[in-house]
C-alpha cells in the first residue's frame, strides 16, 4: 500500500471550510486506499506567539474534529507532531541541505514576514517548510494531500529528497502533491479574491465548521456577490459566485453545470440560501460529534497515544537510515 502523510496546525478554535475542502476531505477518502498518517502539527504553530492553555485545548479540538470529519483511528494513524522527536531531528538535516536563497523564495514566508516585519518574524517561520519536508519524508510518504497554497512547500520537499538521495544514496521517498482541481483554494466570503484563512483580519468571510449553524447561514447569506444576476461559474468576472458554486458542488453531488442550470433565472438570493442550508446541513452533525468527543478527553488521549506508537516505529526507521547514510557514528550498543 502506498503511503500518505499530511498535517494541519492547531492554530484556531475550529478548522474552516477551506481546510476541509482543500485537505481533510481528501484525507478521509485516502484512508481507505492508502497507509495514511495524519498529524496535528503543533510544532509548526509555534512560529507565532502561543497561549499554552489554548495550545493544549486546540490540539485536542483538532483531533476531535478530524475524527468527526471522518478519519477513523482504525483505518489511519492520527498523531501529534511533538510526540515524535524524530521530526525535529530530520528537520535539522533538511536545514543543512536547503539553500538560504531557496528557503527565502518561499512565498508563504515572504508574505507572512512582510506583514509581520523583520523584528516580529521568527527564525522558525523561515525554517517552517524544512520541518514540513521532514514531516513528509520521515514517513516515506508517496502522496501529500494539501490545498493549493502548499504546492511550493511540496516542490521544495521533492527537491530536498532528490538532493539527499543523489548525494547520499537512495534513502528518501520523493513525494507527489495531491491537490484537487476543485476545492484546493476556497476563498474568503467577504473578499473572494483572497483565500479563506484562519489569520484573516475579519472572520466574517470565514466559515468555521464548529460554529453554530445559524452563524454560518448568516455569513453565507451576506457573502459578497458580483455584478450581474446570473449564477454562472466564471472565476475572473464572478469570483464571489464561483467560490459559492465550488462550495456547493463540493458538499453535494451536484456538478458545476447542474448548479448553473438549477439556478438559471433565479438570482443570487435563492442561490445563497441553498448554499447556506447545504453548509449548515453538512456540518451540523459534525459539530455535534466533535463536541461529544471533547467530553471524553481520556478516549481522545488513548487515540493519540496509539497514533504516536505507530508513527514512532516508521519515523525511527527512516531517521536511522538517514543517519547511517550520512555516516553519523552509531551510538555504541545500538548498531
In the chain, alpha helices (H):
17-19, 25-30, 52-68, 86-97, 100-104, 107-116, 123-138, 151-168, 213-221, 239-251, 256-262, 268-293, 297-326
Give the span between the Cα atoms of 100 and 31, in whole angstroms. Answer: 36
Q: How far is the CB of 260 from ligand TYM (least distance, A)?
A: 22
Catalytic annotation present for 261: no
Binding mask 123-152 toward ligand TYM (x if CB under 6 A, else -) reads ---------x--xx-------x-xx-xx--
Give the span between the Cα atoms of 325 and 172, in whole angstroms. Answer: 11
Catalytic annotation, pick one of 2, 112, 266, 310? 112
Catalytic annotation present for 112: yes
Nearest alpha-carbon partner for 175 in 154, 148, 194, 149: 154
Binding mask 15-54 toward ligand TYM (x if CB under 6 A, else -) reads ---xx-xxx-----------------x--x----------
Catalytic annotation present for 221: no
Catalytic annotation, pick one of 195, 254, 321, 324? 195
Q: Rounded to a whole number, what is the distance in angstroms from the first to the last CA of the chain? A: 29
* Residue closest to ligand TYM, measured at CB: 22
Distance of CA 208 to the CA centre of its chain: 14
Of residues 162 through 221, those in contact with ligand TYM by CB under 6 A are 184-186, 195-197
In which residue are the cell numbers 493544549 written? 56
Q: How far is the CB of 133 from ligand TYM (least distance, A)?
A: 8
In 263-327, alpha helices (H):
268-293, 297-326
| 247 is a contact residue toward ligand TYM (CB under 6 A) | no
Q: How far is the CB of 239 from ligand TYM (least distance, A)?
A: 13
- Cross-strand partners of 250: none
Nearer to ligand TYM, 9 or 242 (CB): 9
DSSP state of 186: P
Single residue of 7, 161, 177, 205 touching ligand TYM by CB under 6 A: 7
Rounded to 5 degrees, φ, ψ at 37 are: -120, 125
Give the span between the Cα atoms of 89 and 138, in whole angstroms. Answer: 10
Q: How far is the CB of 292 from ligand TYM (least distance, A)?
A: 23
Q: How far is the CB of 102 from ligand TYM (least distance, A)?
A: 17
Catalytic annotation, pick one of 2, 198, 310, 324? 198
Residues labelled catalytic:
112, 195, 198
**Residues near ligand TYM, by CB under 6 A:** 5-9, 18-19, 21-23, 41, 44, 132, 135-136, 144, 146-147, 149-150, 184-186, 195-197
Amino acid at each position: 500500500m502506498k503511503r500518505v502523510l499530511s498535517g494541519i496546525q492547531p492554530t484556531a478554535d475550529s478548522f474552516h471550510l477551506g481546510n476541509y475542502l482543500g485537505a481533510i476531505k481528501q484525507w478521509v477518502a485516502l484512508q481507505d486506499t492508502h497507509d495514511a498518517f495524519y498529524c496535528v502539527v503543533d510544532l509548526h504553530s509555534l512560529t507565532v506567539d502561543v497561549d499554552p492553555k489554548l495550545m493544549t485545548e486546540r490540539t485536542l479540538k483538532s483531533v476531535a474534529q478530524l475524527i468527526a470529519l471522518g478519519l477513523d483511528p482504525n483505518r489511519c494513524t492520527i498523531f501529534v507532531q511533538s510526540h515524535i522527536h524524530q521530526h525535529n531531528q530530520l528537520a535539522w538535516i533538511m536545514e543543512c541541505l536547503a539553500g538560504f536563497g531557496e528557503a527565502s523564495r518561499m512565498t508563504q514566508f515572504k508574505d507572512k514576514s512582510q506583514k509581520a516585519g523583520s523584528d516580529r518574524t521568527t527564525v522558525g517561520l523561515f525554517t517552517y517548510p524544512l520541518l514540513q519536508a521532514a514531516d513528509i519524508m520521515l514517513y516515506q510518504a508517496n502522496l501529500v494531500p494539501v490545498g493549493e497554497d502548499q504546492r511550493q512547500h511540496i516542490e521544495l520537499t521533492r527537491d530536498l529528497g532528490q538532493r539527499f538521495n543523489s548525494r547520499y544514496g537512495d534513502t528518501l521517498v520523493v513525494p507527489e502533491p495531491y491537490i484537487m482541481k476543485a476545492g484546493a483554494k476556497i476563498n474568503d466570503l467577504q473578499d473572494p479574491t483572497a483565500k479563506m484563512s484562519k489569520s484573516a483580519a475579519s472572520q466574517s468571510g470565514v466559515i468555521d465548521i464548529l460554529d453554530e449553524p445559524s452563524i454560518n447561514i448568516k455569513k453565507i447569506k451576506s457573502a459578497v456577490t458580483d455584478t450581474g444576476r446570473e449564477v454562472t461559474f466564471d472565476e475572473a468576472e464572478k469570483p464571489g459566485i464561483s467560490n459559492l458554486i465550488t462550495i456547493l458542488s463540493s458538499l453535494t453531488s451536484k456538478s458545476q453545470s447542474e448548479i448553473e442550470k438549477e439556478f438559471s433565472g433565479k438570482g443570487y438570493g435563492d442561490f445563497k440560501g441553498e448554499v447556506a442550508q447545504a453548509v449548515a446541513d453538512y456540518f451540523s452533525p459534525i459539530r455535534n460529534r466533535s463536541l461529544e468527543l471533547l467530553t471524553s478527553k481520556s478516549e481522545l488521549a488513548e487515540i493519540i497515544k496509539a497514533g504516536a506508537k505507530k508513527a514512532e516505529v516508521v519515523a525511527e526507521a527512516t531517521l536511522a537510515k538517514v543517519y547511517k547514510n550520512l555516516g553519523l557514528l552509531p551510538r555504541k550498543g545500538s548498531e
